[in-house]
Amino acid sequence: MKHLQLLVTTTLFMLAGCGESALRSVSSGYVGCSPDEIEITNDDIGFSNRSWDAACHGRIFHCSGAGKVGMSCVEDRPPVDETLRAVTASRVGCPVDEVEVSRDKPGFNRRSWEATCRGHAFYCFAVARKDISCIDEMAVAPKAASSGTPETLPMNDRQTLEHPL
């Protein structure tokens, strides 16, 4: 581990006078792309630090390095609201731009939120970022059956999806 830190620190000192090619090389291991696939933008050189954006395969990473501390790259992800809108849209059959998310309640290993689309209100739940369900509130509202007893419409089937919530 210390050898890696020394290598990164040495590389950062060398980068102070180097160009885009060196940034692509050091970013490669952090972003999962070969150096020739990476595009560098927003290169900002400070006194003892440097920051830049590395993009490849449609993903953008914000990278930075400082003297003896080392370097890191963090992927730029859409805001949580945009992610919840996309997940909800895939569950309820509405276009993403027509979904409005409200009452987002993140919790440990679970999350719930409310959403509306085309006049329908939905309650959505996610457990362990995989088991995601959205239920139309009309589907859980009691309705009078011919026998006069309240019924509940069936809830949507649960679907499993790997998604960063």
Tens of pLDDT, residue by residue over 82-95, are: 888 898 999 999 99
* d(C-alpha 74, C-alpha 143), whole Å: 50
- Residue ending a domain, choose from 22, 41, 75: 75
- Residue ending a domain, choose from 20, 45, 75: 75
pLDDT digits (tens, 9 = 90+) for 122-131: 999 888 767 8
For residues 99 and 33, membership in a common domain is answered with no
For residues 86 and 122, membership in a common domain is answered with yes
Assess if residue 165 is contained within a domain. no
Structural domain including 105 reads: 80-160
For residue 65, which amino acid is it? G
Assess if residue 121 is contained within a domain. yes
Asked if 43 and 13 touch (Cβ cutoff 8 Å), the reply is no
- Residue ending a domain, choose from 75, 94, 126: 75
Question: Strand 120-127 relative to strand 59-66: parallel, antiparallel, unpaired?
Answer: unpaired
Rounded (10°) CA dihedral 81, 87, 92, 95: 70
Domain count, the chain: 2
Rounded to two decimals, the pTM is 0.44
Asked if 38 and 30 touch (Cβ cutoff 8 Å), the reply is no
* d(C-alpha 27, C-alpha 71), whole Å: 9
For residues 53 and 92, membership in a common domain is answered with no
For residues 84 and 154, membership in a common domain is answered with yes
